[in-house]
Amino acid sequence: MQHVDLSHTDPDLPEHLVLILHGSRGDLSKRMVLASLYLLHRRGLLPRTWQIIGTGQVDDGDDAFRAEVRDAFEEHTDQPLDAFDEFAQHLSYAYQVEKDSPWSRADDVAAAVADGALVVHYLAIPPTAFAPATEALAAQGLLDGARVVYEKPFGTSPETFAELDDLVHEHLDESQVFRIDHFLAKEGTQNLHVLRFANELFKSVWNREHVLEVQVDVPETLDVAQRASFYDATGAALDMLVTHLFQVASEVALETPDTLEVDELVAAREEVFRHFRELDPEDDVVLGQFDGYTAIDGVADDSQTDTYVAARLWIDTDRWRGVPFVLRTGKRLARGAQRVTLIIRSPESGPLGGVGIDSVSVSIAGDGRIEISTTVKRPGPELVLAQGTAVLDFDDVAVGEALPPYASAVHDVLVGDRRAFTTSATLHEAWRAFAPLLGERRPTPVPYAPGSMGPAEADRLVSDAGWCVTAPDDAAGTGENS
């Protein structure tokens, strides 16, 4: 049996916690949020005393909720359930908070706050419910001193973002707001900082003098049939480009902060976003839709929703001016990956010419991996050049056990670390840069075959190096955004 660490040794954790999980009966709550809390429980990474109050639109009591959570864990998680009975003792359930009706657990939460507990509201609810939920929590007096976690997307346009942002700031200080983008919590994404700032080899070439192009590539093999109604109202660009891919691009493009403390890192990220050029839909964006998409139940026959997007983003800082950041994602592609690649310029002079594309590639899937491709001498008596690749898997690094992105993000909320969360300022700039894709200039999606790597039209967005993530011969791969 795997050891369950209940030592609670993290000095940054609060002593007492009340986490109120709004929308606790939904798929996101059970598969991601509650599973993450269970993992933190098993690792000894929760406070000394804690309770989780789930809320929802039915009111069938604690036992039904606990049984439903266990069923979900058995179906969706590979974690041992040896500690579930103890975990379940900390779970309870209540009807959802409403603006005009007293909430049944308000007195219990007030008593916990009086005893020094940290209150966290986790809004695992549809984005359209963020505003009414925030107003309801404010009306019930449940926001004073609390932290509030908002899932993505935080708005669906510049206008809806601004409306929601204004409402949130009526009731909360920015320091209380945690907007999750779990790509920022990935081990691989965070290793971008270490790779660059702790290694002079990479730090010295991390600029437009040495980098020809940056690719942020997240192709997926997954279908959308299981959530067709949601997806048809959203699409790839809204679901992934203005959120995950923009955020990862900003991590690559950061100016060097003096430290990686929260305030300095957040300020550096916000400054990069201010230099995002607005997307040019005609020249720099290709949208696609896989063949057969409109035949899926829940999708309109004439749907123009994009299931694929490739975009060339320009970041007009002195470090990156003129270097294209090419971002790509799509459904039902031949291969799944989550990779950031810096394509290195070939030497302009010297006795030897290269034979391939030199690059530094960081996989941000799972525990992460670094690949360095460069020109080397082929073994043998003659000077013959070849392309070689060196690989370092982060899970090979001695001593360390990574947390999955959601668990890492939840833990950061508990300790108050906002480094891996988006801010009002970054999202304002993200929506500004993305806005041209929401108007009349939006390209019509072009068809592509399922099992391909998307429309051929997107090939014009990358350099002669081509896409670094290509389909394997057997078209295998996964596309989980984990």
Show the tokens assigned to 69: 């959570």
Amino acid at 369: R
Q: Is 220 annotated as a binding residue?
A: yes
Nearest to 152 by CA among 176, 178, 127: 127
Residue given tokens 């896409």 in the structure block:
467
* Contact between 457 and 287 (Cβ < 8 Å): no
Report strand pairing: 118-123 vs 91-95. unpaired
* Contact between 325 and 249 (Cβ < 8 Å): yes
Q: CA angle 26-29-34, nearest 5°?
A: 140
* Contact between 16 and 117 (Cβ < 8 Å): yes
Phi/psi of residue 59, nearest 5 degrees: -135, 80
Q: Is 239 annotated as a binding residue?
A: yes
Show the tokens assigned to 12: 């940054």
Nearest to 442 by CA among 247, 289, 213: 289
Please confirm, yes or no, whether 244 is among the known catalytic residues.
yes
DSSP 8-state assignment for residue 478: -
Q: Is 186 annotated as a binding residue?
A: yes
Give the active site residue among 244, 275, 411, 428.
Answer: 244
Give the Cα separation of 14 and 116 in Å (integer): 9
- Three-state DSSP class for residue 113: helix
In angstroms, the first-to-last Cα distance of the chain is 26
Q: For the sheet with 285-290, list strands across it.
A: 385-393, 369-377, 359-363, 339-344, 211-219, 324-330, 308-314, 285-290, 446-448
Give the Cα separation of 295 and 249 in Å (integer): 34
* Contact between 262 and 419 (Cβ < 8 Å): yes
Q: Is 331 annotated as a binding residue?
A: yes
User: What residue numbers does the annotated binding site cover?
Assistant: 152, 182, 186, 220, 239, 331
User: What residue numbers does the annotated binding site for NADP(+) cover?
Assistant: 152
Q: Which residues are catalytic?
A: 244
User: What residue numbers does the annotated binding site for substrate cover?
Assistant: 182, 186, 220, 239, 331
